[in-house]
Amino acid sequence: MPKRGFVSNFKKVYQIVNLDDLNSIKETTITPLLLKANGLIRDESALIKILGNGSIKNPVTVQAHAFSKRASVEIVNAGGKAEIINV
């Protein structure tokens, strides 16, 4: 029986990092290399998405490929910046 529907061959797969996880990092600028060094992601060259689970306490600049709406609002409200990395 043939499969039905459409499956994209170009699906984007993100490595997920929550805001609570960022509180353990003491740096003011959080980059993919820093996330890898702290064990929050496996591969720094893969796509990274920051989700808004939890809250962030310190004003930091976060560099990632994508942010959820809540995550970007929480980062800005804490006095930081959410910078999108272009692929």
For position 7, what pLDDT does the model report?
Answer: 82
Model pLDDT for residues 22-45, shown as the tens digit of each residue: 999 999 999 999 999 999 999 988
CB 45 within 8 A of CB 54: no
How far apart are the C-alpha atoms of 42 and 82, rounded to whole Å?
A: 21
pLDDT of residue 8: 85
Q: Global pTM? A: 0.86
Residue ranges per structural domain of the chain: 14-84
Tell me the CA distances in angstroms from 68 to 13, 18, 26, 55, 58, one per residue in order.
15, 10, 22, 13, 18
Question: Which residues are 17's β-sheet partners?
Answer: 50
Domain 14-84 has CATH 3.40.50.1100: no
